Structure 1
């Protein structure tokens, strides 16, 4: 009996544990698609595109100076941890006329991190509102065309989020005002989507070999 027990502990339990965790990783390994076919910023005059990029999309609107806090939260809690990942970018939609304020913001952000993957796209009210509607979320823009929420858009122009969030059920975006939400939810979801693409890349490379 002792030998049997030892055999179970040494060989069987590790296999069961491996299968359990492997199954968990598989089930947890994809972030749900909430909206398909988001526009690739084609309505804007810009060199920035969402296609073939993993993008964090936000709305700074027409009063960038008052939205600096949300940008700093994102920079510190999310961007600094992931900006070196290939094809990862932050895309902020800004109202025309805010160019000087954005330049000031960029200088302040650059003190804290390399901001090469922060992108700012300018447009008028109609363009910004139209793009926001394409996300098809339950979140509305504020009167100044801004939002404290940011959104994850994948390389195939799909909005990603949660379908079983413990607080909201379906979770379309992440509240940048809440440091706790950035730490406890958004960081996890960014890790998931980046890991998803890492795994897909490894699989493709292995198949080529």
Structure 2
């Protein structure tokens, strides 16, 4: 079952505070876990990023996030109906405006977006349906959304374009399994993900 996102951080405490405030603590039950690293983020775009809902006053929400320490980011997106920002360590994320397809909440985390090449879409969809235990599937022309349930506010979004894989991903999904070996593994597209044992 998909239970969280692991994020490498130069400053674990600062990143934890930023994302707690950025999401307003609304993560749809996913845990954001920060692990220390000495590696700054490479210049290339991350293969996994988070989307936040901007809500009806999205301009004010973007301003709030900038005040928290986010910066505007240019990943070649051009003129798009959402805002691309980066967290204090340069990890890209999007702020989605009202009316954006698939947004089921007015604030907080609404999507975990994984780059998937078009030719890998079927294999990745099958892989992540099994690993995440999220079975509500929404097919779009550009890709696929998975949700725990149809009304769940957070989706796992998979679609192109896929950033080149060069080194270990800075953001990685975390799944919890009742059986199987904990550790770090690769998905069907060569992306790292963590397996954690169940708690309690």
State TM-score, norm by structure 1: 0.33
More helix as a share of residues: 1
State TM-score, norm by structure 2: 0.34
Question: Relative contact order, CA 8 A, sep 6+: which one is greater?
Answer: 1
More strand as a share of residues: 2
